[in-house]
Amino acid sequence: MAGGGAALSEVLDVAERGLHPPLSAAEATEAVDAAVAASVVVGGRPLPGLTFRHPLVRLTCYDGLSAARRRRLHSAYAEAVLRRRPEAVDTLASHLSRADDPRATQYLREAAERAAALCANDTADRYYAELITRLDALAADAARVRIDRGAVLRRMARYDEAAAVLREALDDMARRGDPDGQVLAAARLTEVLAKHRATDEGEALLHRYPPGPDTPALTVATHHPAGAVLKFVTGQYEAAHARARTAQQAADAVPGSGRRGLLARALGMQATSLGLAGRLSEARPAADLALPHAEAYGDQELLVTVLSVQREHARRSGRLAEAVSTGRRALRLAEHTGDPTAVAFERANLAELHLLLREFAEAEGQARTAVRETGERAEWCTPYALAALARVLIRTGGPGAAELLARAGEVAGAQGDEQAVHEVRTARAELLLREDRPREALVALAGDSGPGTAPLLAWAHLLSGRAEHAVRLASQETVRAEQAGERLSLTEAYTVRAAALATLGRERAAHEEFGRAAALAAELPYPAGASAVAEAAAADWGATGTGFPG
């Protein structure tokens, strides 16, 4: 009944207090000796204990007990554990449940919360599911437990199940007339819907269930980040930043330890939105403010988000070694959270970092693993993984990049993820430039003003025979990148402007510009940029057929 192994002290405790008739310690010891002599049980555990020699023996013995006797023994064993190690909430949850003891709900909740905090998601989900069943049978309020279970299912990337559980919670809150619960459930459901890019439904939910003047601060601080997420996934980065600022103000009003987690989330969302809005100099301070809150709160999912922002800032600032180190830490934490989509996303980003360092084997390994982890599913991370592998193949000359980008584009477009669409567009434009199809690259980049677009656009104009326009675009990008501190983009802008100047016959200015690009690439260091500069500088830009370098 104990599960195959138990401490000897607990076995003797149950024999004395839980059996009818009870056994004295001496009688129980004789029975143990007989069982050992018969090779039914053996000594086990670091502390003195007993375990069955074979699990089939244990199952045979267990099956021989009546249902009533099992229930009585589970109850007796739970009482022994309560006396000797009351902190063993998992053991108590299991045995009190099997004993059909009313106290089971308390320990199931504690066990579920502990497992969730440790990112033991499968275990947490099992406890939450059993707790919900028990509460439903008691006609108790299971809605808030469903909300907590929804968070675990979301972390496991089981979005359909999470949405179903949260819809049940929302319906239950509505039936009970709990307005605060409705706001909370709607916010949590909205965040799950955002993973499917069901943003219209999410917006409708937030509009229908807004916080009121008497809504608790914790619930208000959950509502506003959900709104920020919706704005973010649809590419409205300034609006996402504004909602995240409101979320920060709401978090400041939350009492207790939960405040730090909410602050970390609000600041992390601000940092991400600022970075993609082109306000990189403001993004890093926000991420730096978020990190200690996330570390103090201990939420590894939050830490992954904050570290991802810091990784991206380091990359665009040209601190590639720091970006790789931060990215590896984010990947380790993502693996621990148990969210396969976060793991695939972090791997895809690491792959692109290794490309910038011209570490092609590492880049391909991370990218292929990311694609394999997404499988055939169309998750939110799928376009990023496919685009990362496509970039590797583009840079190494491998086949299949176009097919990968076609699938990535379909998924990103269906999801409405503007950042993913941007990643696919820029990767496709690079492929077209390398295939000497610059006019098609211009079409691919039309209307895209995201990070990394300007240098590619300048190359497309240059290779389409519009050198003057390429100079203007590259000059504008050098000013912007220098002001923003985006040194990788600055290197690339120097390089394309130099090539355009050489095409126009302005050899001295081109030579100086190539020198600036080479010096910056060496200073960072930026191996992929240095290689592109060297190739472009060696080309004869007055001849026909000169192509995209790198």
Quick: pLDDT tens for 224-250: 999 999 999 888 999 999 999 999 999
- Residue 510 pLDDT > 70, yes or no? yes
Could you tell me the strand order of the sheet in which 5-7 lies? Answer: 5-7, 49-52, 41-44
More confident residue, 119 or 124: 124
Percentage of the chain exceeding pLDDT 70: 99
Closest CA to 308 of 323, 318, 293, 292: 323
At CA 394, angle to CA 390 and CA 397, rounded to 5? 125
Under the banding of pLDDT at 50, 70 and 90, the label for residue 544 is: low
The reported pLDDT for the residue numbered 45 is 58
- Residue 365 pLDDT > 70, yes or no? yes
- Residue 545 pLDDT > 70, yes or no? no
The reported pLDDT for the residue numbered 197 is 66
The reported pLDDT for the residue numbered 346 is 96
Specify the range with the lowest mean pLDDT, choosing from 107-111, 373-377, 421-425, 470-474: 373-377
- Residue 489 pLDDT > 80, yes or no? yes
Under the banding of pLDDT at 50, 70 and 90, the label for residue 258 is: confident
Under the banding of pLDDT at 50, 70 and 90, the label for residue 517 is: very high
d(Cα 293, Cα 295) in Å, to the nearest integer? Answer: 5
As given in the structure block, the two tokens for residue 379 are 């998750």
Please give the mean pLDDT across all residues of the chain: 92
pLDDT tens digit sequence for 264-296: 999 999 998 998 887 878 888 998 999 999 999
- Residue 5 pLDDT > 90, yes or no? no
The reported pLDDT for the residue numbered 137 is 82
pLDDT tens digit sequence for 156-168: 889 999 999 999 9
d(Cα 404, Cα 415) in Å, to the nearest integer? Answer: 17
Under the banding of pLDDT at 50, 70 and 90, the label for residue 44 is: low
- Residue 409 pLDDT > 90, yes or no? yes
Mean pLDDT of 502-530: 96
d(Cα 155, Cα 188) in Å, to the nearest integer? Answer: 12
Percentage of the chain exceeding pLDDT 90: 75
- Structural contact between residues 152 and 116, judged by C-beta atoms closer than 8 angstroms: yes
- Structural contact between residues 394 and 401, judged by C-beta atoms closer than 8 angstroms: yes
Burial state string for 461-477 with b = 16 or more CB within 10 A and e = fewer than 16: bbbbebbebbbebbeeb
The reported pLDDT for the residue numbered 47 is 60
Under the banding of pLDDT at 50, 70 and 90, the label for residue 43 is: confident
pLDDT tens digit sequence for 82-96: 999 999 999 999 999
Q: What is the DSSP code string of 127-151?
A: HHHHHHHHHHHTT---HHHHHHHHH
- Can you say whether the dihedral through the CA atoms of 210, 216, 217, 219 is positive or negative? negative
Among left, alpha and beta (phi > 0; psi -120 to 50; other), residue 90 is alpha
Mean pLDDT of 34-60: 84
The reported pLDDT for the residue numbered 138 is 79
- Residue 76 pLDDT > 80, yes or no? yes
The structure's pTM equals: 0.83
Question: Where do runs of H (alpha helix) occur along 435-506?
Answer: 438-445, 453-463, 467-484, 487-503
- Residue 206 pLDDT > 80, yes or no? yes
- Residue 128 pLDDT > 80, yes or no? yes
- Residue 4 pLDDT > 80, yes or no? no
- Residue 141 pLDDT > 90, yes or no? no
Phi, psi values for residue 198, rounded to 5°: -85, 65
Burial state string for 223-249 with b = 16 or more CB within 10 A and e = fewer than 16: bbbbbbbbbbbbbbbebbbbbbbbbbe
Specify the range with the lowest mean pLDDT, choosing from 18-27, 221-230, 395-404: 18-27
- Structural contact between residues 266 and 225, judged by C-beta atoms closer than 8 angstroms: yes
